[in-house]
């Protein structure tokens, strides 16, 4: 049963990711990306990480996609305004994609050794409880409180910058 759900979620994730990349309409692309985020949250549920799944839905499917949609709307993308890409630009993009894919694949293959069945290391810690997660992230000794604060200031500054960029200049008539 879980294997079937995994394969269905994987198919939805891959299909929506490809549709996100290959769809010409940016709004449709953003909607496919939201579907991809929800299916990834489904994978987190299969891993029995409910808190991570809920946070993923709130942060990515909620906040990040709203910011992305606002950016798309502010940019006012039209096909008439889009510049045509030269063959050299397309070739450079394909070459860089292949290089990044090769590096990621090599890192993935070398990172995890093949283990025999049942040879996984178990530390005995419960890292899925919210209490332990909060202690790890926000502990005064080695926590991540300051980076969280910096991230919130960065998001606030980027939001203010987006509002200032979207404002139209008023023409002064004499």
Compute CA distances 113 → 37, 104, 107, 117, 136, whole Å: 28, 16, 12, 12, 27
In angstroms, the CA 131 to CA 152 distance is 22
pLDDT of residue 81: 57
pLDDT of residue 173: 63
Contact 58, 34 (CB under 8 A): no
- Residue ranges of the chain with pLDDT lower than 70? 76-83, 112-129, 140, 142-143, 167-174
pLDDT of residue 15: 95
In angstroms, the CA 122 to CA 61 distance is 32
Domains and CATH numbers, the chain: 1-78 (1.20.120.1200)
pLDDT of residue 16: 94
Sign of CA dihedral 93, 94, 100, 104: positive
Helices (H), the chain: 2-22, 26-46, 50-56, 65-75, 87-111, 130-138, 145-166
pLDDT of residue 19: 93
pLDDT of residue 39: 94
pLDDT of residue 82: 59
pLDDT of residue 65: 78
pLDDT of residue 114: 61
pLDDT of residue 11: 95
Coil vs helix vs strand at 77: coil
């Amino acid at each position: 049963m879980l294997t079937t759900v995994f394969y269905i979620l994987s198919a939805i994730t891959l299909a929506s990711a490809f549709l996100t990349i290959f769809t010409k309409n940016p709004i449709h692309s953003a909607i496919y990306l939201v579907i991809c985020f929800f299916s990834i949250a489904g994978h987190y549920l299969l891993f029995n990480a409910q808190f991570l799944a809920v946070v993923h839905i709130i942060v990515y499917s909620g906040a990040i996609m709203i910011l992305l949609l606002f950016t798309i709307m502010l940019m006012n993308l039209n096909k008439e305004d889009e510049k045509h890409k030269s063959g050299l630009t397309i070739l450079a993009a394909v070459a860089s994609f292949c290089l990044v894919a090769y590096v990621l694949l090599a890192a993935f293959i070398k990172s995890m050794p093949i283990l025999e069945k049942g040879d996984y290391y178990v530390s005995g810690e419960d890292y899925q409880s919210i209490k332990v997660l909060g202690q790890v992230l926000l502990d005064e000794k080695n926590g991540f409180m300051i980076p969280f604060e910096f991230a919130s200031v960065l998001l606030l500054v980027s939001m203010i910058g987006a509002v200032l960029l979207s404002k139209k200049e008023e023409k002064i008539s004499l």
